[in-house]
């Protein structure tokens, strides 16, 4: 175990990204922040850091419990990070799975006007919850 590790490698180790390249690209595109400060992939993670990661529609917030330098199984992730993501952000994930545009088959093109109206109605219904 080390005291510090690069943030791109840490995010890959705790399975927030499928590959290290994807975690590196997220850092380079300013998707990873600590205290509103964008991070480069070379930033060294310390215990107690609260990291915010923008992944598609959701802003994932985690707190670093322990440092690890090797990829671990999904069962052991909770020993190294604590998920602080608000419920409102978690609901966005569930909504995006149910929306018609997310399940649209490849090659069908843009949604029609009727499909867009239905999408707007469904978004309004979920926002009332």
Q: What is the pLDDT along the chain (129 residues), one digit of tens a residue?
A: 567 899 999 999 999 999 999 999 999 999 999 988 998 999 999 999 999 999 877 889 999 999 998 999 999 999 999 999 888 888 877 776 666 555 667 778 888 898 888 877 877 776 665
**Per-residue buried b or exposed e for 10-19, using 16+ beta carbons within 10 Å of the residue's own CB:** bbbbbebbee
Assessment of whether the complete model's pTM goes beyond 0.75:
no
Q: What per-residue confidence (pLDDT) applies to 92?
A: 76
Q: What per-residue confidence (pLDDT) applies to 101?
A: 54
Q: What per-residue confidence (pLDDT) applies to 53?
A: 94
CATH for 5-85? 3.10.290.10
Other Cβ atoms within 10 Å of 1 Cβ, number:
8
Domain ranges in the chain are 5-85, 99-129
Q: What per-residue confidence (pLDDT) applies to 2?
A: 61
């Amino acid at each position: 175990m080390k005291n510090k590790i690069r943030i791109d490698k840490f995010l890959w180790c705790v399975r927030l990204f499928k590959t290290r390249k994807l975690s590196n690209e997220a850092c380079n595109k300013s998707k990873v922040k600590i205290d509103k400060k964008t991070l480069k992939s070379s930033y060294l993670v310390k215990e107690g850091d609260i990291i915010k990661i923008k992944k598609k529609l959701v802003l994932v917030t985690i707190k670093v419990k322990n440092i690890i330098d090797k990829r671990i199984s999904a069962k052991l992730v909770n020993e190294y990070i604590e998920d602080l993501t608000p419920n409102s952000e978690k609901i966005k994930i569930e909504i995006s799975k149910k929306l018609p545009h997310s399940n649209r088959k490849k090659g069908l093109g843009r949604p029609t006007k009727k499909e867009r109206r239905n999408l707007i109605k469904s978004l309004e219904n979920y926002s009332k919850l």
